[in-house]
């Protein structure tokens, strides 16, 4: 969110606003609690209306989304809206807190999640959509991992009703849609055909794409049109495809995807059909009869077990040596040369001192205690023990790490993060090389910018530091975010990659590549 600082946010009666837990293009999200009962923690989203207007959205659009959302959130798998109000510059929305963070953050690119986890989220999503379609007569129209949050037990919470629409009138007649809004990779083919379509049927299609993403860690195609070669191949083979992106999907799972990813909406499975499919009916060991998680530790273990960042020599060689040219000058991250608009610049985070990622500490109750009491051990081993409690750090070495298993629980911690005890003079030039290698322009020089800031603000005063990233992914779509560097304690720094816009899988791919390039400065748990 641009152009505002925390001091301009409206006060909310009886609510104490806390730290930033997330940021979108038009809004920031803060945690908060009730004055009368501090144990009641909620999330408050502050939508900045002037920014929305700059992007062509009217106040009516913004308010309409919340009205619709609040009318259909009486379901365990839909994020609950508690209250909302509008001030001159902001719309604030108090919501239930999704303590488990974002689903997209937990999908390993090109690997996906454990198939039982995929099945669990499929079942919960089908339950949420059944309620939306059959009881509320509302189609969501933007189902994708970025719009799915998790609660503290790992249950799915469908969010973001910005494109939702009522598809049934009071008299029972159906209302068709004709606009082409949505996320191209998750859109049904009929949306792009310029014809009127049934929005509830497009939700079912998006569920199919989402299941594919959960199972494989990549999207099946960029656009569901015949000029997209992956989509064309899928259509040519009438869905009987076992090559390329489809190769890792087991036969029994393909059956479900074929029923859903049926280009002809009249032949596509309906939500009622999905409820009869074995994928929906199969009772999972970590779910109760209502489909809610009954064993969060087991679900978290399954979900986190696929997340890993390899810093091995093999991976490093694969990354730095282009097999085609042997020049070591190319990576597969993006297909195009940097555009003038792409850049990575460094700045002191003056507006947003508690920005997300900066405040995210390892998720443990007793780390401070641990540090205070442990003065006998060397500083570096204290730091390694400290980060041993953070699942984000453990993804670098979890195979042989016994404490990894004990950290399996849902929390909102960003998983695109690492720690370092190196000096900034060592970290920044490496970052610069890594970002250049990923074909992202650096403007201006990161280290000299840091040194200038340091001479005016002093070393301590420089942090949190933010490196803005504005680039494109392999398909030429925008990919924006920030790298936030913060001193956690003494010389221990957390370096967190926060996506603001673009494909979350590509954001994690970028994170992994920068991490690999900077592997010598990353502090890895014991």
Binding of ligand ATP by 27 (CB under 6 A): yes
User: Alpha-carbon distance 438 to 443, whole Å?
Assistant: 14
Binding site for ATP: what residues are annotated?
45
Q: Which of 9, 22, 132, 334 binds ligand ATP (CB under 6 A)?
A: 22
Shortest distance, position 151 Cβ to ligand ATP, whole Å:
9
Binding of ligand ATP by 91 (CB under 6 A): no
Using CA atoms, how far residue 499 sits from 370, 479, 483, in Å, is: 31, 8, 9
Active-site residue, 171 included = no
Binding of ligand ATP by 360 (CB under 6 A): no
Binding of ligand ATP by 392 (CB under 6 A): no
Binding site: what residues are annotated?
45
User: Is it true that the peptide bond before 464 is cis, omega within 30 degrees of 0?
Assistant: yes
Shortest distance, position 446 Cβ to ligand ATP, whole Å:
26
User: Alpha-carbon distance 505 to 511, whole Å?
Assistant: 10
Q: Between residues 55 and 251, which has the closer beta carbon with respect to ligand ATP?
A: 55
Binding of ligand ATP by 413 (CB under 6 A): no
Binding of ligand ATP by 502 (CB under 6 A): no
Shortest distance, position 250 Cβ to ligand ATP, whole Å:
31
**Per-residue mark of binding to ligand ATP, 135-174 (x: CB under 6 A):** -----------x--x----------x--------------
Q: Which of 26, 115, 396, 410 binds ligand ATP (CB under 6 A)?
A: 26
Considering all CA atoms of the chain, what is the largest pairwise distance in Å, rounded to the nearest integer?
A: 75
Shortest distance, position 69 Cβ to ligand ATP, whole Å:
11
Q: Between residues 21 and 358, which has the closer beta carbon with respect to ligand ATP?
A: 21
What are the residues whose beta carbons fall under 8 Å from the beta carbon of 216, sequence distance 6 or more? Answer: 110, 111, 112, 245, 246, 248, 249
Closest CA to 460 of 427, 498, 424: 424
Using CA atoms, how far residue 196 sits from 268, 312, 315, in Å, is: 16, 52, 48
Closest CA to 268 of 194, 189, 165: 189
Question: Is residue 131 packed enough to be buried (19+ CB in 10 Å), middle (13-18) or exposed (0-12)?
Answer: buried
Closest CA to 83 of 74, 93, 75: 93
By CB under 6 A, which span of 19-27, 247-255, 394-402, 439-447 interacts with ligand ATP?
19-27
- # residues near ligand ATP by CB under 6 A: 18
Please report, as residue ranges, which positions from 293 to 322 form the binding site for ligand ATP (by CB under 6 A): none
Q: Between residues 160 and 218, which has the closer beta carbon with respect to ligand ATP?
A: 160
Binding of ligand ATP by 52 (CB under 6 A): no
Give helix then strand counts, H and E, for the chain. Answer: 18, 15
Binding of ligand ATP by 391 (CB under 6 A): no
287: tokens are: 């779910």
Q: Between residues 18 and 429, which has the closer beta carbon with respect to ligand ATP?
A: 18
Shortest distance, position 102 Cβ to ligand ATP, whole Å:
5
By CB under 6 A, which span of 23-31, 64-72, 342-350, 485-493 interacts with ligand ATP?
23-31
Closest CA to 307 of 422, 418, 402, 396: 396
Q: Between residues 157 and 509, which has the closer beta carbon with respect to ligand ATP?
A: 157
Q: Which of 32, 68, 84, 97 binds ligand ATP (CB under 6 A)?
A: 97
Burial 272-284 (b: 16+ CB within 10 A, else e): eebeebebbeeeb
Q: Between residues 63 and 451, which has the closer beta carbon with respect to ligand ATP?
A: 63
Q: Between residues 150 and 284, which has the closer beta carbon with respect to ligand ATP?
A: 150
Shortest distance, position 206 Cβ to ligand ATP, whole Å:
15
**Roughly how many angstroms between the first and final C-alpha of the chain, as a whole number?**
38
Q: Which of 49, 66, 68, 98 binds ligand ATP (CB under 6 A)?
A: 98
C-beta nearest to ligand ATP: residue: 22
User: Alpha-carbon distance 372 to 375, whole Å?
Assistant: 7
Evaluate whether 163 touches 177 at the Cβ level (below 8 Å).
no
Of residues 102, 114, 142, 390, which has the active-site annotation? 142
300: tokens are: 């978290």
Shortest distance, position 155 Cβ to ligand ATP, whole Å:
13
Could you identify the residue written with the tokens 């899928």?
234
By CB under 6 A, which span of 97-105, 129-137, 174-182, 385-393 interacts with ligand ATP?
97-105
Question: Across 298-372, where does the E strand assignment appear?
Answer: 343-348
Which uninterrupted H or E stretch holds 83?
Answer: strand 81-86
Q: Between residues 259 and 509, which has the closer beta carbon with respect to ligand ATP?
A: 509
By CB under 6 A, which span of 92-100, 171-179, 195-203, 255-263 interacts with ligand ATP?
92-100
By CB under 6 A, which span of 20-28, 84-92, 339-347, 369-377 interacts with ligand ATP?
20-28
User: Alpha-carbon distance 99 to 150, whole Å?
Assistant: 7
Shortest distance, position 507 Cβ to ligand ATP, whole Å:
11
**Three-class secondary structure of residue 143 per DSSP:** coil
User: Alpha-carbon distance 498 to 22, whole Å?
Assistant: 9
User: Alpha-carbon distance 108 to 474, whole Å?
Assistant: 17
Binding of ligand ATP by 261 (CB under 6 A): no
User: Alpha-carbon distance 103 to 92, whole Å?
Assistant: 23
Residues of the shown chain interacting with ligand ATP in the complex, contacts defined by CB under 6 A: 21-27, 29, 43, 45, 79, 95, 97-98, 102, 146, 149, 160
Catalytic residues: 142
């Amino acid at each position: 969110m641009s152009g505002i600082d925390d001091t301009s946010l409206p006060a909310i009666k009886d609510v104490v606003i806390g730290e930033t837990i997330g940021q979108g293009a038009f809004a920031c999200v803060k945690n908060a609690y009730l004055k009368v009962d501090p144990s009641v923690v909620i999330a408050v989203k502050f939508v900045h209306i002037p920014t929305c207007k700059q992007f062509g959205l009217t106040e009516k659009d913004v308010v309409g989304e919340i009205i619709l959302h609040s009318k259909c959130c009486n379901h365990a798998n839909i994020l609950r809206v508690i209250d909302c109000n509008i001030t001159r510059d902001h719309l604030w929305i108090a919501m239930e807190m999704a303590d488990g963070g974002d689903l997209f953050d937990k999908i390993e690119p090109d690997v996906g999640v454990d198939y039982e986890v995929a099945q669990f989220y499929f079942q919960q999503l089908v339950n949420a959509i059944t309620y939306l379609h059959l009881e509320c007569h509302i189609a969501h129209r933007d189902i994708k991992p970025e719009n799915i949050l998790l609660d503290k037990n790992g249950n799915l919470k469908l969010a973001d009703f910005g494109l939702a629409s009522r598809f049934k009138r009071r008299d029972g007649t159906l209302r068709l849609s004709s606009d082409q809004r949505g996320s191209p990779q998750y859109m049904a083919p009929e949306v792009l055909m310029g014809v009127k379509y049934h929005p509830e049927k497009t939700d079912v299609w998006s569920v199919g794409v989402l299941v594919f993403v959960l199972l494989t860690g990549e999207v099946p195609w960029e656009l569901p049109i015949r000029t997209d070669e992956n989509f064309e191949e899928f259509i040519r083979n009438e869905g009987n495809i076992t090559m390329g992106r489809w190769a890792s999907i087991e036969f029994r799972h393909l059956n479900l995807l074929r029923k859903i990813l049926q280009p002809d909406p009249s032949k596509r499975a309906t939500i009622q059909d999905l409820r009869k499919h074995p994928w929906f009916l199969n009772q999972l060991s970590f779910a109760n009869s209502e489909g809610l998680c009954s064993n969060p530790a087991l679900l978290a273990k399954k979900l986190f077990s696929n997340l890993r960042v390899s810093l091995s020599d093999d991976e490093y060689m694969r990354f730095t040596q282009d097999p085609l040219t042997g020049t070591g000058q190319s990576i597969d991250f993006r297909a195009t040369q940097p555009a003038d608009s792409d850049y990575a610049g460094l700045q002191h985070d003056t507006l947003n001192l508690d920005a997300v990622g900066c405040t995210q500490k390892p998720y443990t109750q007793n780390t401070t205690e641990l540090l205070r009491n442990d003065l006998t051990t060397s500083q570096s081993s204290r730091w390694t023990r400290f980060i041993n409690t953070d699942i984000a750090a453990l993804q670098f070495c979890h195979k042989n790490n016994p404490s990894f298993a004990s950290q399996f629980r849902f929390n909102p911690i960003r998983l695109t993060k690492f720690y370092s005890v190196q000096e900034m003079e060592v970290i920044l030039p490496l970052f610069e090389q890594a970002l250049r290698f990923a074909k992202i322009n650096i403007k201006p020089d990161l280290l000299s910018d840091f040194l200038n800031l340091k001479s005016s603000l002093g070393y301590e005063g420089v942090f949190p530091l933010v490196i803005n990233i504005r680039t494109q992914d392999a398909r030429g779509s925008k990919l924006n975010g920030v790298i936030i560097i913060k001193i956690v304690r003494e010389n221990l720094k957390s370096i967190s990659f926060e996506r603001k816009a673009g494909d979350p899988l590509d954001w994690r791919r970028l994170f992994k590549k920068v991490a690999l390039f900077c592997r010598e400065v990353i502090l890895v748990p014991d």
